[in-house]
């Protein structure tokens, strides 16, 4: 059963890559995956269910790629490593990254919160100890990671060399959090 779900999600991701969110219809999914309408509805309930699961899966993979950066290094090195791991994941998974940026409305906030909990806990601990500038948790994604997000958006549009800029971006993220 997991293979069927994976095949359907892979088909949805390919359709998004080729034609955007609107290209993902139940008919297109059945054609691309070779599975019946019933299989799609059985596994995901609806087109929105496909998007929600694809978002959850992609977000989990992204956060999992960042988790190895959380260690006992100085805060500066860890913040930079988290940023670099994120950028490297985007470069290695542009289709999934593009989907995450195109479909934020399909995110289940509780799923995102649970996945991001270890990273958030690390930040909150370092803020409490004075190793990082104290900022509200809501500011981590739009404010702290702003330089990374804007750079990734441009990379995904094909107008920015993310590999060349990754160290500068990591420095910019650290500059926001430096005590």
Q: Summarize pLDDT for 124-178 with one digit per residue, the tens.
A: 999 999 999 999 999 999 999 999 999 999 999 999 999 999 999 999 999 999 9
Query: Contact 34/116 with Cβ under 8 angstroms?
Result: no
Predicted confidence at residue 3, as pLDDT, reads 85
Predicted confidence at residue 118, as pLDDT, reads 96
What distance in Å separates the CA atoms of residue 150 and residue 162, rounded to the nearest whole number? 11
CB atoms within 10 A of CB 109: 7
All structural domains of the chain: 1-45 (1.10.10), 52-177 (1.10.357.10)
Predicted confidence at residue 117, as pLDDT, reads 96
Spatial neighbors of 29 by CB under 8 A, at least 6 apart, are 8, 11, 12, 15, 35, 40, 47, 50
What distance in Å separates the CA atoms of residue 21 and residue 23, rounded to the nearest whole number? 5
Q: Summarize pLDDT for 41-83 with one digit per residue, the tens.
A: 888 999 999 999 999 999 999 999 999 999 878 999 999 999 9
pLDDT above 70: residue 37:
yes
What distance in Å separates the CA atoms of residue 44 and residue 75, rounded to the nearest whole number? 41
Query: Of 78, 95, 101, nearest to 10 (Cα)?
Result: 95
Query: Of 74, 76, 103, 97, nearest to 148 (Cα)?
Result: 97
pLDDT above 90: residue 12:
yes
Q: Which residue has the tokens 């509805």?
A: 41
Predicted confidence at residue 4, as pLDDT, reads 83
What distance in Å separates the CA atoms of residue 106 and residue 70, rounded to the nearest whole number? 28
> Positive or negative CA dihedral for 31, 94, 154, 122?
positive
Q: How many percent of the chain have pLDDT more than 90?
A: 85
């Amino acid at each position: 059963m997991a293979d069927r779900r994976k095949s359907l999600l892979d088909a949805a991701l390919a359709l998004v890559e080729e034609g955007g969110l609107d290209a993902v219809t139940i008919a297109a999914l059945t054609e691309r995956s070779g599975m019946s309408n019933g299989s799609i509805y059985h596994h995901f309930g609806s087109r929105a269910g496909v998007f929600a699961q694809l978002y959850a899966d992609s977000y989990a993979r992204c956060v999992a790629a960042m988790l190895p950066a959380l260690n006992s290094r100085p805060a500066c090195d860890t913040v930079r490593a988290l940023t670099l791991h994120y950028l490297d994941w985007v470069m290695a998974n542009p289709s999934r990254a593009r989907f995450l940026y195109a479909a934020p409305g399909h995110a289940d906030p509780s799923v995102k919160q649970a996945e991001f909990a270890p990273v958030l806990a690390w930040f909150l601990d370092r803020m409490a100890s004075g190793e990082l500038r104290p900022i509200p948790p809501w500011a981590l994604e739009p404010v702290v990671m702003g330089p990374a997000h804007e750079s990734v958006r441009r990379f995904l549009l094909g107008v920015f060399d993310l590999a060349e800029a990754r160290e500068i971006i990591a420095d910019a993220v650290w500059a926001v959090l430096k005590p």
